[in-house]
Every structure is written in C-alpha cells, then in structure tokens.
Structure 1
Amino acid sequence: MKGFCTVLTATAVLLAAGCQAKEPPTQVVYRFDDHRYLELTGWDCEGALWYTDTHRGIRTQPYSQFYRLFTRKFIHQSERYIAITSWDVSGFIVSKDYGQTWQLAQFSPSGNEPNGDNSAPREDAVSFTVVNDQGFLQTKHRLYMSSKPFDDPRVVEGGPGITYTLEDGTVQRIEPNSPGWKWGMVYLTKQGLEGKVVSHETNYQGLPDKVPEVKGYTGWDHMRCDMDKGR
C-alpha cells in the first residue's frame, strides 16, 4: 500500500506541473518603421501594450492591460506625437515626447455628430492616420482630428492672452492662466469646433477638410495579431 501511495503522489505532482499556467506570449502587433514598434503581451490578442524605439532607447507601456487592437486602416508616420486607439475607438492614448510618457486624449465634450454625440459609433471608423504630429480619425460620415501640433503662444504662460468679440458686440478674453485644450489632447470635427472658444486659438484654425497625404511611409498599414500565439 505504501508503494501505491508513492506512485499516486508522484503522478499528482506531474499533473500539477503540467497544469501550471504558461507566461502570456508577446508579439509585435505594429511596426511604425525599422526602429519603432508596438508589442502586445497577453492571450487571445488582448493584454498589455508596449512601445519601443530602439534608436532613442525608449521602451514604455501605453496600456498596462486589456488592450485590444484597432482593426481598421492605421497609418502612423509621426515620431514626436504618437497616438494609439483601440478596437472600440472610445479614446486615444498619446505621447507628445516620442513615446517617453503617455496621456489620455478624448473626443471633445459634445457636438461632433449630428445627434449631438461627441464620438462616432465604433462600426463607423474607417481609418486612423497620424502625420506631421497630428491625428486624423476618418469615419463614414465625419473626420475627427487633433489640433495643429503647438499651443497658441498668446495663451501660454507669460503670453498676452486673446481678446475677441462676439456677434452681439460682447468683448471676451482668453487668459493665459485658463487656455483651451492643449494641442494633441482632444479630437473633434470642424463642425463641432464651430462656436467653441478654442476656435480663436491658432492651433485650432485652418484645419484640413480631409486626411493629409502621407508620402514615403514604410510602416504597416494595419495592426496584426496571432490569436493562437503561445498555444
């Protein structure tokens, strides 16, 4: 009986070892160029997202968990301003310093869609393009974009502020200590920009009506992921 128990114990140990969870796989899911790429660590193409720039020695984590790939066309030429959205296109994680630090960017509070919603339905997304430090989300009915890549010098610290006049003759001011949205941090449509105070700041003026042409791009045009990786 003692020998039989020994055999059972050894078998249980082997079974337990075989059932131990594997480490989640890591795979490259997007390449910007020959030295910048995104990696996903997780099962079933969901998990933590890592950004790497081998030339600048940068490796950071835009998403710590639960990231799911943006499945539409994705062209990203910009290096200083990096913007990433996910499958549901509910917002953006952005870096304005080559990927060293990351912040959450969102859609403007209201008025982008005809029904007053701030963002389009996920199924309306067509493409996301980041070029010249500016992001452009094209949907079936609207073009969402971030501002031009600078803050109006009149409303930065020490600036003179901006004075403007409303249609009824009322004089208004934007003070340097209370400026509008910082560049690259809000995505909105030109329709939604109408009547907004930030429309008086130069980085929100002269915005394009279509996604700018991207020339000489060598990166991927879609994110890629192997659902069976690590199985």
Structure 2
Amino acid sequence: MKGLCTGLAAAAVFMATGCQASEPPTQVVYRFDDHRYLELKGWDCEGELWYTDTKLGIHTEPVSQFYRIFTRQFIHPSERYIAITGWGAGGFIVSKDYGQTWNSVRFAPGPNEPNGDDYAPYDDVLSFTVVNDQGFFQTKHRLYMSSKPFEDPRVLAGGPGISYKLDDGTEQVLEARSPGWAWGMVYMTKQLLEHSTQQYKTNWQGLPDKVPEVKGYTGWDHMRCDMDAGR
C-alpha cells in the first residue's frame, strides 16, 4: 500500500508539471508603424487577436478566438479608422475610435460578384488598403470600399433629410430617422451603389475607381505568423 501511494503521488506531481499544457504563444503578426501592432495568441497561427497602440495606451481584443491571419497584401497607415479582415475575407472588424472599440461589418448585401456571391472568393482577393480613414478591398473583379469618413449632415438628427426621385418620378426622402449605414460600417462597390439609396449621401459620392496610392508607408505590407511558435 505504501508503494502504491508513493507511485500515485509521483504520478500526481508529473501530471501537475510535465503534462500541464503550456501557455499559448503570443507573436506580433502585423505592424502598422513604430507604436501600433497586432498580436496573435494561440497555437498554429489561430487564436485571440489583440491590438496595441503604445502611444495612446490602447490594448484591446478585436477577435476573442479563432482568428487566422489575412495573407494578401495589407497596407494600413490609417489611425482613427482601423479595419482588419481574416483569412476567409468574408467581412471586417473595424474601429472608428483609434482601436478602443470594435464592431463587425460586412460586404454590401446582395449579389455583387460575377459568380453571384455577395463577397469575394478568397482566391480572387488581391489586397486590402486602409488610408485616410477609408478602406479599399481589391479583388480581381471588384473594388469594395467603405464610405468617406463622415456623415451627411442632412441625415443627422434634426437634419432636413435627402430628397430623391425613383425611376417613375415618385419623390422620396431619405430621413434622419432611417439614414442607412453609418460611415465606415459597410463595404460597397460602385456597381451596387448605383442601386442603393446611399448614393444620395455625400459620403458615398466622388469615390475613386482604384485603390489610392500610399506613399511613405513604414509598416508591414503583409501579416506574418510562425506556425511553430511556442513549440
């Protein structure tokens, strides 16, 4: 009995030490500049995603689990508006307050791609650029973009609304109580914008036909992850 107890005690010590799972590794997977970066905590390049801004003292968690890095070109000098997509590129996590709070947004609803989908197949994705508080997601067939970074004052509280006409001449009003998407919270193409009432808002007008050129960017142009981290 004494020998059995000794063996059980030794086994318990082994289970508490040698068999205990180690802490998942944390690694920087993207650097925006010298004071802002993304960290991934987890095994096999999947897990929690954390955003840090050492200058503003911000440390938040945009994605709590199952995040996998975006592998296409990623250029992101924008600071107030931060947009992040993952491996599948089916939508975005965005912050409009320098990374303090985060919300999910999606591609424009409705069929938009040549294959009839409302999002880009991953094999067609080319790049994601976020500059001047506006995101530009380029695929082989379409350019998805968020609106310009402000609200049309006509549809803010107390505003007069926006009058427009349907094809049959019927007059309509886009009112402040139902103005549609807030700026930066949906990614649209010009093709689909032609069929949306959002086209009448000033923050959806005068959009470019191609991704704006970014000069002097010092951050990374791709996310990076070591699959063997922590092993």
Cα distance, 1:142 vs structure 2: 0.9
Cα distance, 1:113 vs structure 2: 1.4
Show the counterpart of 2:10.
Answer: 11
Alpha-carbon distance in 1 for matches of 2:84, 2:40:
13
Partner SS, residue 18 of structure 2: helix
Cα distance, 1:115 vs structure 2: 4.0
Cα distance, 1:117 vs structure 2: 2.1
Alpha-carbon distance in 1 for matches of 2:177, 2:215:
39
Show the counterpart of 2:74.
Answer: 74
Alpha-carbon distance in 2 for matches of 1:36, 1:115:
37
- Alignment TM-score, normalising by the size of structure 2: 0.96
Alpha-carbon distance in 2 for matches of 1:87, 1:149:
26
Unaligned residue ranges in structure 1 (runs of 5+): none
Show the counterpart of 1:57.
Answer: 57
Maintained 8 Å contact 1:25/1:43: yes
What one-letter code is carried by the residue in structure 2 that aligns with 1:174?
A: L
Alpha-carbon distance in 1 for matches of 2:185, 2:56:
24
Cα distance, 1:14 vs structure 2: 4.0
Q: What per-residue deviation string (whole Å, max 9, x for no partner) do you get for residues 157-207 of structure 1? A: 111100012232111100111102111000111111112111111111111
What one-letter code is carried by the residue in structure 2 that aligns with 1:44?
A: D
Unaligned residue ranges in structure 2 (runs of 5+): none
- Alignment TM-score, normalising by the size of structure 1: 0.96
Show the counterpart of 2:35.
Answer: 35
Show the counterpart of 2:125.
Answer: 125
Q: Is residue 155 of structure 1 aligned with residue 155 of structure 2? A: yes
Maintained 8 Å contact 2:41/2:49: yes
What one-letter code is carried by the residue in structure 2 that aligns with 1:90?
A: G
Cα distance, 1:116 vs structure 2: 3.5
1:79-228 to structure 2, matched below 5 A, reads 79-228=79-228
Give % identity: 72
Alpha-carbon distance in 1 for matches of 2:31, 2:47:
18
Maintained 8 Å contact 2:72/2:222: yes
